[in-house]
């Protein structure tokens, strides 16, 4: 059984999430790569890959970001199923469709709002059978353009035209919001990174007090792991 790869792009340890539970429940062996410390896959022999979030930007000039671009590009061209979250989604878009695809927003989106699924979502294994709109947690200061011909937009809203997308040439998806955390995990994440949120002028106590269950989109991780397991059959 091929192992599953987790490209962990955090600079510090973060609280466990729904993704960690989905990995555990999948029964697949896990190999974790701490990309900030120069750890990257040296092959494409994986059942699937999760490309995680980060405080970095896909446009940053740090060496590890450049290496991450090369790594996910090789994995994508080998048709390894991949799911990118937030920075991970931006990294995949930048690596596969060009560095000009990711841009810094005028303001950081932090809080809860609905995303709306497109007609294309109805036929996708990760996004089919959802209601037209679902509410989820957002935390991002960068955004991916929504007009590249190699990209299929699966969900969007008025604040961001590219919330969930799929690469047209292989099993690669990107998710901009943060359905990986339930209410407790969101509160843990906010507390763990309190100083960072405060530096951006956010009211951390208010965000914790008003945290929501954030359940509606969470199943997308189980769907991705189901696809990965079926690919192994």
- Write out the DSSP string of the chain: -PPEEEEE--SS-----HHHHHHHHHT--EEEEEGGGT---SS---SEEEE---SS-TT---HHHHHHHHHHHHHHHTT--EEEETHHHHHHHHHHH-GGGEEEEEEEEEEEEEEEE-GGGGG-TTTTT--SEEEEEEEEEEEE-S--TTEEEEEE-SS-S-SEEEETTSSEEEE-S-TT--HHHHHHHHHHTHHHHHHTT--HHHHHHT-----TTTTHHHHHHHHHHHHH-
Percent of the chain's residues with pLDDT above 90: 89
What is the value of pTM for the model shown? 0.96
Domain ranges of the chain: 4-232
Point out the least confidently predicted range of 15-29, 134-148, 198-212: 15-29
Q: What is the pLDDT of residue 20?
A: 87
pLDDT per position as a tens digit, 147-169? 999 999 999 999 999 999 999 99
CATH 3.40.50.880 fits 4-232, yes or no: yes
pLDDT per position as a tens digit, 70-117? 999 999 999 999 999 999 999 999 999 999 999 999 888 889 999 999
**Strand 164-167 versus strand 172-175 pairing type:** antiparallel
Total Cβ atoms within 10 A of residue 78: 12
pLDDT per position as a tens digit, 2-28? 999 999 999 999 999 998 889 888 999
User: Which of 166, 180, 177 lies closest to 76 in space, CA to CA?
Assistant: 166
Q: Which residues contact 4 (CB under 8 A, 6 or more apart)?
A: 23, 26, 28, 29, 30, 31, 46, 47, 48, 49, 50, 228
């Amino acid at each position: 059984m091929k192992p599953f790869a987790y490209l962990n792009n955090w600079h510090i340890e973060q609280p466990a999430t729904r993704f960690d539970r989905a990995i555990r429940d999948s029964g697949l062996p896990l190999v974790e790569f701490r990309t900030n410390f120069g750890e990257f896959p040296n092959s494409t022999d994986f059942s699937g890959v999760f490309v995680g979030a980060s405080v970095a930007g896909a446009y940053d000039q740090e060496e590890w970001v450049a290496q991450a671009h090369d790594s996910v590009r090789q994995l994508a061209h080998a048709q390894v199923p991949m799911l990118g979250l937030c920075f991970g989604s931006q990294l995949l878009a930048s690596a596969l469709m060009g560095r000009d695809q990711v841009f810094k927003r005028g303001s950081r989106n932090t809080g809860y709002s609905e995303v709306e699924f497109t007609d294309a979502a109805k036929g996708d294994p990760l996004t089919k059978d959802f209601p037209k709109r679902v509410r989820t947690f957002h935390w991002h200061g960068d955004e991916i353009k929504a007009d590249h011909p190699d990209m299929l937009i699966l969900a969007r809203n008025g604040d961001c035209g590219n919330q969930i997308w799929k690469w047209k040439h292989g099993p690669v998806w990107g998710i901009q919001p943060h359905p990986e955390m339930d209410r407790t995990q969101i509160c843990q994440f906010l507390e763990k990174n309190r100083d960072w949120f405060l530096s951006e002028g956010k009211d951390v106590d208010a965000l914790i007090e008003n945290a929501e269950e954030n359940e509606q989109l969470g199943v997308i991780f189980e769907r991705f792991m189901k696809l990965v397991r079926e690919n192994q059959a």
